[in-house]
Amino acid sequence: MNIIEKSIFSKVLEKELALITLENENLFVTLSNYGAMITSIIVKAKNIDILLGCNTIDEYINQDKYFGATIGRYANRIENATFELNNKIYNISPNESPNHLHGGTNGFDKKAWNYEIIDDSVIFNYLSENMEEGYPGNLDTKVKYTLNDSNELLVEFYAKSDADTIVNLTNHSYFNLNGENNNSVKNHLVKINSDFITEIDEKNIPTGNLTNILNTNFDFKEERSIEDALNLSETIISKDYDHNYVLLDNKEVKASIYSPSTNIKLELSTSYPCMQFYTGSFLNNFKGKTRNYNNFSSICMEPQFAPNSINIPKFKQPILRKEEEYYEFIKYKFSF
């Protein structure tokens, strides 16, 4: 293992930010303390970057697509930017009016985190103050990235609050295993260990009901390509994927994607109960590293508590009690 640290000056923030590269025999994984994010994953043998994103740190600061970022305090959507906790109503920022999305107007993805390098890991730290974006409690948050010699990138989330609050942290990386410069992931073979997605309304808010996806174009329990899934006769939706899958507990690997073009496979394990499967429908011709990104330019697999779960009591709750320890993980395992 090798760790390379580099300082980058941001003209937007008028301060120095960091790029930290974790290296093993097969991978370069570059991180930044801006948004505690992953900026690139380069597969050495293929000489390709499999992560969508931007070319400069200021381009990351100016974009709103959450490329590779840590999302918090609450990943995904909260209906009407409102929730109740301990018989008190909290109004949080309605940055996707009328709803709250990915932590609000200035979520964790837009913060300059402190960091330290310990052994083979990089640990980012951010203190979210009481009532930031409307959330109660001073929340001390840590995100730890570790790359090992087995080509596993482990992302661990830690948090502790001095008051009861809600927390739902994730990573928002956009993967294209054909290479970032390829315009489509429709040939990717996808497997998701799930029987149900959460039903959503016209504003992408879960209703509280679950939809059985057996034999629909959402069914990836048996590995199949996105292109084949979209062509199924029994379809729920055919234009894109942006849905929350309820993960099954019976296997360690919860989801995987594989490119037959490059022979690169990514397996995902997580402690979270759900995962957002998203193919980039909001990218809207975004100018990225080497090309413009659109729908099906990439795949996001975002482990999480269910969207709006704080407002749906029968869903697993994202409540963090005062002085309790929050811990969840995401593990990406790469093979070639």
Report the pLDDT averaged over residues 193-215. 94
Token pair 């048996």 is found at 222
Per-residue model confidence as pLDDT tens digits over 39-79: 999 999 999 999 999 999 999 999 999 999 999 999 999 99
What confidence score (pLDDT) does residue 90 get? 98
Report the pLDDT averaged over residues 252-280. 98
Please check the confidence at residue 34 and state whether its pLDDT lies above 80.
yes
Three-class DSSP category at 60: helix
Domains of the chain: 2-335 (2.70.98.10)
Q: Whole-model pTM?
A: 0.97
How many Å apart are CA 142 and CA 163, to the nearest integer? 17
Catalytic residue among 132, 267, 302, 328: 302
Is 133 annotated as catalytic? no
Catalytic residue among 102, 172, 188, 243: 172
**CA gyration radius, the chain:** 19
Is 243 annotated as catalytic? no
Closest CA to 73 of 115, 135, 130: 135
How many Å apart are CA 75 and CA 166, to the nearest integer? 11
By CB atoms closer than 10 A (0-12, 13-18, 19+), residue 28 is middle
